[in-house]
Amino acid sequence: MSQPSCILKEQLQKQVREIFVRFGLDVGGTKTEIVVLSDSGDMIHRERRPTPDNYPDFLNSIQSLISETEVHYSQASNIGLCLPGAVSPDTGRMKNANTLYLNNQTVAEDLEQRLGRSVKLANDADSFTLSEATDGAAAGARSCFGVIIGTGCGGGLVYNGQLIQGPNAIAGEWGHNVLPYYHEDRDGPEQPCYCGRKNCIETFTSGTGMAKRFREKHGLSLNEIPDAQSVMAKVEQGDSEAISHYDHYVDTLARSLASVINIFDPEVIVLGGGMSNIQTLYKDLPAVVSQYVFSDQLNTRIVQAKHGDSSGVRGAAWL
């Protein structure tokens, strides 16, 4: 007779107490997730809770999650935390976070004082890239560019298994460069970006931007086309306007990726976020990217993330 699942779980937890573990946390606008990874990368615990709406409760929530998890597993010497923002190298404080109460806070220092050990922080796109380069779709590759194309457009760079983090803490943040080769006749009217600039890559290649431009071009409401998935549904139905819009999307994404390849020349580009689930991209993109790359042949592989929406929190643990 097989053992009850509760007994098996207790046995697993006992075994885990005897091995090295890593804790990773992923803080989003609505949820905070914690995972426990074994040293070999096996996910042995995963839990989600709502993200608080103020900074003191945020610190309490992180401390509580870690303390309660450590009751069942050995104390983690490594704690990684990924956030939708970056730490300023000049001040040590958060910047560019869309969870606004985190901005200008010394998150790592405050948590270290509470926990009594080191806390590593990284941008969510950096964590995603590190995860996929470590044991995901880019495992074994020397260089990787990780791309998140969803509500926004983020990116991260890994070389020889290490995150590249420059003096401004913005390495890989391609989304707020201007769309290469922009021309109104081909690309439509200028697109304002929340950052204050115009025609950022994010306004064209994010799922939000794709849907917004389709609505504007065809005079549709948000209810009619709420997201990029709605556009792709029309593509699958054979709608000629949607197909044309998708083809243009592929071209803008190809131009944008080619500009990164021309500088970093990664072995692998890993796509994550909602738009990465469009399977036709992996067939259509390479040929178009090759038109814009300064090379006679494109050897960079463009692949979908292996760990999906778990990549960010896994990357935090690998920190």
Same domain? 147 vs 238 = yes
Give yes or no for a contact between 126 and 270, defined as CB atoms under 8 angstroms apart. no
Last residue of a domain, one of 59, 89, 117: 117
In a domain, 272, yes or no: yes
Please check the confidence at residue 10 and state whether its pLDDT lies above 70. no
In a domain, 313, yes or no: no
List the structure tokens of 163: 């995150």
In a domain, 288, yes or no: yes
Residue 16 banded pLDDT, cuts 50, 70, 90: very low
Mean pLDDT in residue range 216-233: 96
Mean pLDDT in residue range 136-152: 94
- Can you list the pairs that 49-57 forms with residues at least 24 positions away whose Cβ atoms lie under 8 Å? 51/27, 51/99, 53/101, 54/101, 55/101, 55/102, 55/105
Same domain? 168 vs 297 = yes
Give yes or no for a contact between 151 and 206, defined as CB atoms under 8 angstroms apart. yes
In a domain, 316, yes or no: no
Please check the confidence at residue 17 and state whether its pLDDT lies above 80. no
In a domain, 317, yes or no: no
Last residue of a domain, one of 59, 88, 117: 117
pLDDT at 6: 60
Same domain? 98 vs 222 = no
Per cent of the chain over pLDDT 70 is 93
Please indicate whether residue 131 or residue 41 has the higher confidence score (pLDDT): 131
Please check the confidence at residue 292 and state whether its pLDDT lies above 90. yes
Please check the confidence at residue 19 and state whether its pLDDT lies above 90. no
Please indicate whether residue 150 or residue 63 has the higher confidence score (pLDDT): 63
Please check the confidence at residue 287 and state whether its pLDDT lies above 90. yes
Report CA-CA distances (Å) from 85 to 103, 111, 145: 8, 17, 18
Please check the confidence at residue 98 and state whether its pLDDT lies above 80. no
3 state DSSP class of 293: coil
List the structure tokens of 157: 């760079």
In a domain, 123, yes or no: no
Please check the confidence at residue 109 and state whether its pLDDT lies above 60. yes
pLDDT at 73: 84
Same domain? 233 vs 274 = yes
* CATH number of the domain encompassing residue 86: 3.30.420.40
Mean pLDDT in residue range 231-243: 97
DSSP secondary structure code for residue 315 in this structure: H
In a domain, 122, yes or no: no
Give yes or no for a contact between 127 and 134, defined as CB atoms under 8 angstroms apart. no
Same domain? 142 vs 248 = yes
Same domain? 170 vs 275 = yes
Per cent of the chain over pLDDT 90 is 66
Same domain? 73 vs 213 = no
Domain that holds residue 198: 129-306
pTM score, two decimals?
0.82
Mean pLDDT in residue range 297-303: 97
Domains: count for the chain: 2
**What b/e string do you get for 280-298 counting C-beta neighbours within 10 Å, with b at 16 or more?**
ebeebbbebbbebbeeeeb
Same domain? 65 vs 210 = no
Same domain? 134 vs 238 = yes
Same domain? 209 vs 244 = yes
pLDDT at 195: 83
30-39, 76-85, 111-120: the lowest-pLDDT one: 76-85
Q: Which range in 131-140, 148-157, 192-201, 244-253 is most confidently predicted, on average pLDDT?
A: 244-253
Same domain? 293 vs 165 = yes
pLDDT in tens, 68-81: 998 888 777 668 99
Task: Give the mean pLDDT of the chain.
Answer: 90
CA distance 152 to 175: 8
Report CA-CA distances (Å) from 152 to 23, 100, 186, 216, 292: 26, 16, 22, 18, 23
Please check the confidence at residue 86 and state whether its pLDDT lies above 80. yes
In a domain, 171, yes or no: yes
Same domain? 208 vs 109 = no
pLDDT at 18: 47
